[in-house]
């Protein structure tokens, strides 16, 4: 019996501890106090549920137990420190109007509050990521440090500083107002996408042991869509799912990088593609179309093609045209050039890339040079191709990409 309850407590911890934490932060007004209270509440559950029985609503029980434990701890401290007394009185007052938490109202909002607070633009970008993974996803400091190849003490300090700024500069625990929402949502999406890309880029070769950041980012994306079904939140989730669907196909069994055109499409995850495509359609139907949705739409066109040749390149170039208007960046122009090369032939794409590089915007971007090299190779300009592959090789820092480029250079060498 006790064993069963123990398992149940573990299950509740996994499913609900972040929700309970989010509500405790609101009630207690402090991240550290709330974490302590969360810990105490689960310890109390392990102790009391075997004899008292499991409460009807474990989550509400944990919230109210956590809150009372925090108030108790405050009172005890208040005997030694008068300034804490004021805080304890404030919590007592808050406890009286806390009936809403049993009704469950506002509890979902608490999770949104937590996300928006962790991703507040007044926090340093790396602190936003660390805090989100720690507080919203519940990863340990060690797990996050390992995933980002950062020493644990550095990461811990980043989190401590962020929490101190939230407290001292008084970053409010709120969902942004309607007027501020688009910008703030953008910030949240950026954090989630950074987490995803960190995991995606690391998913091959030497870094297989890193925590599954892409999976964590997708979970975050799902949570956000559930709490705030904004078109771009759906677009980002779709984009991540569609990229993730190719994970197995994008590396060979020996850890070599496999380009989209050469991937074994039977390895693509059909469930993720179906979910991603449905989300793209939902986001597109909103008519408030942003860059994540457009990138997801492009990924969805790739996903439905049986092969690189059978891909609807006309549609892909069309989507890039829109993306270029919404998000006019050199990287988007580069990707569009590659799509144009597929639609109109390599020479047409090459002309665009050469113009881009002449502007100097992408001179340090290895993918610009490897794309140019590939197009030069296809039009038979071997010497130019070799030069561009070499430049890309000088710029890349990722091991699988390096090996890929070396392979290409080697092939060109044999062809001469």
Which parts of this chain interact with another protein (CB under 8 A)?
Answer: 120, 122, 168-172, 174, 176, 180
| Nearer Cβ to another protein (164/347) | 164
| Nearer Cβ to another protein (106/172) | 172
Nearest Cα neighbor of 37 from 51, 24, 54 is 24
For residue 168, the minimal CB distance to another protein (Å) is: 6
For residue 169, the minimal CB distance to another protein (Å) is: 5
> CA 277, CA 296: separation in Å to the nearest integer?
8
| Nearer Cβ to another protein (149/169) | 169
> CA 124, CA 162: separation in Å to the nearest integer?
8
For residue 35, the minimal CB distance to another protein (Å) is: 21
> CA 64, CA 373: separation in Å to the nearest integer?
63
For residue 113, the minimal CB distance to another protein (Å) is: 12
Are 252 and 264 in contact, with CB atoms under 8 Å apart? Answer: no
Are 265 and 149 in contact, with CB atoms under 8 Å apart? Answer: no
For residue 79, the minimal CB distance to another protein (Å) is: 19
| Nearer Cβ to another protein (117/214) | 117
| Nearer Cβ to another protein (176/346) | 176
Nearest Cα neighbor of 334 from 373, 304, 302, 307 is 373
For residue 183, the minimal CB distance to another protein (Å) is: 11
Are 17 and 42 in contact, with CB atoms under 8 Å apart? Answer: yes
Supply the DSSP string of 61-127, one letter for each residue: HHHHHHHHHHHHHHHHHHTT-HHHHHHHHHHHHHHHTTTHHHHTTTHHHHHHHHHHHHT-TTS-HHH
> CA 294, CA 134: separation in Å to the nearest integer?
30
The SS3 of residue 221 is helix
| Nearer Cβ to another protein (151/172) | 172
For residue 116, the minimal CB distance to another protein (Å) is: 10
| Nearer Cβ to another protein (172/215) | 172
């Amino acid at each position: 019996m006790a064993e069963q309850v123990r398992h149940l407590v573990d299950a509740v911890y996994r499913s609900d501890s972040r929700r309970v934490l989010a509500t405790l932060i609101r009630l207690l007004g402090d991240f550290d106090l709330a974490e302590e209270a969360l810990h105490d509440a689960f310890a109390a559950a392990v102790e009391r549920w075997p004899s008292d029985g499991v409460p009807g609503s474990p989550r509400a029980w944990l919230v109210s137990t956590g809150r009372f434990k925090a108030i108790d701890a405050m009172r005890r401290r208040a005997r030694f420190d008068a300034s804490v007394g004021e805080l304890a009185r404030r919590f007592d007052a808050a406890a009286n109007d806390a009936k809403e938490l049993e009704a469950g109202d506002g509890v979902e909002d608490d999770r949104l509050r937590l996300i928006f607070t962790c991703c507040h633009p007044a926090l340093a970008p790396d602190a936003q990521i660390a805090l989100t993974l720690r507080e919203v996803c519940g990863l340990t400091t060690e797990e996050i440090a390992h995933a980002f190849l950062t020493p644990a003490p550095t990461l811990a300090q980043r989190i401590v500083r962020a929490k101190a700024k939230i407290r001292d500069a008084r970053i409010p625990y709120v969902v942004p107002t309607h007027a501020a929402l688009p910008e703030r949502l953008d910030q949240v999406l950026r954090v989630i996408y950074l987490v995803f890309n960190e995991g995606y880029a690391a998913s091959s070769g030497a870094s297989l042991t890193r925590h599954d950041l892409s999976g964590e980012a997708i979970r975050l994306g799902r949570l956000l869509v559930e709490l705030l079904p904004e078109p771009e939140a759906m677009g980002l989730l779709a984009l991540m799912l569609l990229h993730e669907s190719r994970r197995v196909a994008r590396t060979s069994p020996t850890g070599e990088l496999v380009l989209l055109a050469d991937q074994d499409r039977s390895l693509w995850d059909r469930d993720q593609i179906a979910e991603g495509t449905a989300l793209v359609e939902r986001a597109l139907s909103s008519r408030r179309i942003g860059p994540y949705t457009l990138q997801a739409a492009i990924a969805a066109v790739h996903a439905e093609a049986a092969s690189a040749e059978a891909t609807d390149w006309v549609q892909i170039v069309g989507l890039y045209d829109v993306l270029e208007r919404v998000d006019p960046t050199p990287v988007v122009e580069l990707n569009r050039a590659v799509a144009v090369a597929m639609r109109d032939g390599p020479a047409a794409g090459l002309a665009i890339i050469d113009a881009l590089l002449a502007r100097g915007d992408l001179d340090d971007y290895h993918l610009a040079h490897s794309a140019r090299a590939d197009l030069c190779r296809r039009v038979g300009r071997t010497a130019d191709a070799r030069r561009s592959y070499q430049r890309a090789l000088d710029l890349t820092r990722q091991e699988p990409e390096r090996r890929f480029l070396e392979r290409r250079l080697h092939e060109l060498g044999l062809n001469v």
